[in-house]
């Protein structure tokens, strides 16, 4: 059974009068909805409610396609700075990602280390809770500490606390230029040292990734800067000097090639079609190389200066058992293990308590998060 409400009020009524499980589906690209489940499609709640480029503010209905949002922003020379990934390739999914799903799953890309995650750009939400109540939190302004920040709580809750109907976001100008400084042939630990040096420099690095197997088959370490043309020239020059001690350094400032390179990292293009379970592992960057070495990965890449590992491992591998350090691992593609990393007993209890308050009937995406 599919439901596709066209208004927030219709959605609220539907939820109020129901107590059976309901799976929330944006574009259906994340592949989390089980076969045969009752599905709530958010695509009927679409459209841009407000966009003020001079105030860097966007208010948009949750079911709006991400591509539409990005198109509207690009027309004004702006963008979603947290760089949401498009994982359709690696998930072998079709469909159109929605802004609501990006918000609900806190989807962020390589720029997360510098600009922040999706949750850091979310200014406000409207949602319908598990009793059918329409709730708003936050707003449309950039600085707001009025009451509790339920915006952050909703971001990353994957719909388990409520159905997002509208989100407000801070947007940023697209930079005039971008450049990429590359070091070839590094082992993961040397790569993380190089990326730490770059990220610890004053040059405002907006991406730092390592591909143990790059496009041409050899290891590639990539550091990105963005800004005005002269600024990018200056900063790539400085970073070239800084990273010279790690190996041979190349600088790429062709916009198309730099964009393509970072899309390759962001969308996991190198992991498309690689057989096995896909994991997303967040650790302290300096722990990254050891974690990576212990995974027995078929193929993997590091982002966020080494702190984010994307790895395809043989099906059934217990990545969490192999980590051995603080952090968390999410099973993005595969089965047989919980999708989300188990929380400590105290935090799990707090999370369960919050779910019981926000969705007392336990309707939304049951079993997706937590131990319910």
Partner 1 sequence: MEMPAPNPAIVAKKAELVRRLSEVLPSDAVIHDEAETRAYECDALTAYRCPPLAAVLPSTTQEVSDVLRICHQMGVPVVPRGSGTSLAGGALPTADSVILGVARMNAVLETDYDNRFIRVQTGRTNLSVTGAVEADGFFYAPDPSSQLACAIAGNIAMNSGGAHCLKYGVTTNNLMGVTMVLMDGTITEIGGAHLDAAGLDLLGVICGSEGQLGVVTEATLRILAKPEGALPVLMGFDTNEGAGACVSDIIKAGVLPVAIEFMDRPCIEACEAFAKAGYPMCEALLIIEVEGSPEEIRHQLSLIKEIAAAHNPVDYREAADADEAYRIWLGRKSAFGAMGQINDYMCLDGTIPVSALPEVLRRIGELSKHYGLGVANVFHAGDGNMHPLILYNANQPGQLELCEAFGADILRLCVEVGGCLTGEHGVGIEKRDLMVDQFAPVDLEAQMAVKDVFDPAWLLNPAKVFPLASSEARRAVKIAAE
Restricting to residues 243-262, name those near partner 1 by CB under 8 A: none
By CB under 8 A, the count of residues binding partner 1 is 87
> Which range, of 47-55, 213-221, 256-264, 269-277, touches partner 1 by CB under 8 A?
47-55
Does 39 interact with partner 1 (rule: CB under 8 A)?
no
* CA distances from residue 75 to 45, 216, 254, 365 in whole angstroms, order as listed: 23, 34, 21, 36
Out of 6, 7, 74, 133, point to the residue binding partner 1 (CB under 8 A).
133
Does 210 interact with partner 1 (rule: CB under 8 A)?
no
2-3/39-41 β-pairing:
parallel
CB of 217 to partner 1, least distance (A): 29
Does 189 interact with partner 1 (rule: CB under 8 A)?
no
Out of 106, 178, 206, 221, point to the residue binding partner 1 (CB under 8 A).
106
122-128/134-138 β-pairing:
antiparallel
CA 325 from centroid of its chain's CA atoms: 22
Does 150 interact with partner 1 (rule: CB under 8 A)?
yes
Q: Collect all residues with Cβ–Cβ distance below 8 Å to 325 and sequence separation of at least 6.
A: 283, 284, 287, 290, 291
CA dihedral of residues 318, 324, 325, 326 (deg, nearest 10): 50
Site pattern 49..88 for partner 1 (x: CB under 8 A): ---xxxxxx------------------xx-----------
CA dihedral of residues 370, 323, 308, 205 (deg, nearest 10): 130
> Is the Cβ of residue 43 or residue 85 nearer to partner 1 in the bound state?
85
Does 282 interact with partner 1 (rule: CB under 8 A)?
yes
Does 144 interact with partner 1 (rule: CB under 8 A)?
yes
Phi, psi of 67 (to 5 degrees): -60, -35
CB of 165 to partner 1, least distance (A): 14
CB of 16 to partner 1, least distance (A): 13
Please tell me the total number of residues recorded for the chain in this structure.
372
Residue spans of beta strands (DSSP E) within 57-99? 57-61, 78-79
Question: Which residues are paired to 23 by β-bridges?
Answer: 39
Out of 60, 101, 113, 258, point to the residue binding partner 1 (CB under 8 A).
113
Alpha-helical regions (H) of 83-208: 88-91, 99-104, 112-115, 118-121, 150-154, 188-199
Which residues, numbered 288-347, are part of the site for partner 1 (CB under 8 A)?
304, 307-308, 326-328, 330, 340-344, 346-347
């Amino acid at each position: 059974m599919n439901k596709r409400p066209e208004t927030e009020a219709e959605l609220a009524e539907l939820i109020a009068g129901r107590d059976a499980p309901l799976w929330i589906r944006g574009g259906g690209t994340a592949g989390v909805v089980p076969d045969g489940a009752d599905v709530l499609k958010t695509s009927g709640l679409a459209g841009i409610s407000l966009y003020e480029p001079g105030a860097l503010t966007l208010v948009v209905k949750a079911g709006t396609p991400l591509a539409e949002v990005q198109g509207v922003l690009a027309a004004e020379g702006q963008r979603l700075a947290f760089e949401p990934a498009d994982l359709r390739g690696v998930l072998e999914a079709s469909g159109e990602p929605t802004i609501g799903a990006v918000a609900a799953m806190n989807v962020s890309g390589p720029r997360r280390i510098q600009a922040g995650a999706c949750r850091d750009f979310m200014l406000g939400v409207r949602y319908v809770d598990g009793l059918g109540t329409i709730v708003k939190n936050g707003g449309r302004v950039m600085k707001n500490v009025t009451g509790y920040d339920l915006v952050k709580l909703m971001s990353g809750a994957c719909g388990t606390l409520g159905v997002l109907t509208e989100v407000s976001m801070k947007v940023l100008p697209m930079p005039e230029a971008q450049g990429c400084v590359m070091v070839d042939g590094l082992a993961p630990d040397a790569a993380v040292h190089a990326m730490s040096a770059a990220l610890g420099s004053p040059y405002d690095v907006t991406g730092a990734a390592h591909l143990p197997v790059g496009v041409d088959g050899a290891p590639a370490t990539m550091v990105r800067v963005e800004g005005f043309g002269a600024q990018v020239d200056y900063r790539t020059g400085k970073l070239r000097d800084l990273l010279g001690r790690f190996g041979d350094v190349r600088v790429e400032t062709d916009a198309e090639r730099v964009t393509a390179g970072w899309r390759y990292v962001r969308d996991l293009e190198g992991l498309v079609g690689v057989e096995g379970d896909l994991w997303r592992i967040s650790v302290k960057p300096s722990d990254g190389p050891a974690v990576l070495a212990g995974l027995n990965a078929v193929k993997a890449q590091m982002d966020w200066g080494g702190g984010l590992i994307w790895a395809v491992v043989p099906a059934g591998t217990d990545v969490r058992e192999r980590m051995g350090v603080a952090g968390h691992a999410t099973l993005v593609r595969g089965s047989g293990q919980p999708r989300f990393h188990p929380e400590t007993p105290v935090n799990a209890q707090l999370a369960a308590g919050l779910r019981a308050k926000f969705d007392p009937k336990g309707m939304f995406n049951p079993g997706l998060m937590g131990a319910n």
